[in-house]
Amino acid sequence: MLNELTLFFKALHFAADKHRDQRRKDVGATPYINHPIELAELLSYEGQVSDINVLIAAVLHDTVEDTKTTQEELEDTFGYEIASIVMEVTDDKSLTNEDRKRLQIENAATCSSQAKLVKLADKICNLRDMSARPPDGWSLERKRKYFDWSRRIVSQLRGINSNLEEIFDKIYAAGP
């Protein structure tokens, strides 16, 4: 069995390979892999989260949704528990964008505590990016709608990590 640190680095390598050709939507086309790394760092440093499964799931959180990675591949490589956390935060891309957004709000409260942490960190990182490096061409109104939608999700995650919730609240209050 791999030790925790080795498994974490294996996840970093896996995610970097899967996201190798992807870029964020900001003007600078930031390498996508920076996003999952930022989630893991936020959880560990600012959120004081030490659960290695949560940190690994943070690194892998977009692999199924945004690459050709399958749930089975994650289970075979990282185990059932990590794959399960990732699947809880993965949108079904066969649905419309509107349905995916609605389901994120509806399902947030019933996620496991581990998935709630990943989801909360994802919203924080996305709002930070929206403020510092917004997607190219997004109007202020569109950014505000994203902030408000994120707040609706986070309202369903309350009670999971006070440090992260406080960070989210400060970013939300500052606005896009």
Say whether 38 is catalytic.
no
17 is an active site residue:
no
Model pLDDT, residue 83: 98
Q: State the pLDDT at residue 2.
A: 66
Q: Which domains does the chain have, with CATH numbers?
A: 4-174 (1.10.3210.10)
What's the pLDDT score for residue 29? 86
Look at the block and give the residue holding tokens 């996508």: 32
**Per-residue confidence (pLDDT) for residue 43, from 0 to 100:** 98
Exposure on the CB side of residue 150, measured as CA atoms within 13 A = 25
Q: Which region, left, alpha or beta, applies to residue 123 given φ > 0 means left and ψ of -120 to 50 means alpha?
A: alpha
Q: Please identify which of the residues 51, 65, 75, 165 carries the catalytic annotation.
A: 65
pTM above 0.85, yes or no: yes
List 4, 41, 51, 66, catalytic entry? 66
Beta-bridged to residue 135, according to DSSP, are: 26
Q: Residue 1's pLDDT is what?
A: 53
The whole-angstrom separation of Cα 20 and Cα 100 is 25
pLDDT in tens, the chain (176 residues): 569 999 999 999 999 999 999 999 888 888 999 999 999 999 999 999 999 999 999 999 999 999 999 999 999 999 999 999 999 999 998 899 999 999 999 999 999 999 999 999 999 999 999 999 989 899 999 999 999 999 999 999 999 999 999 999 999 999 98
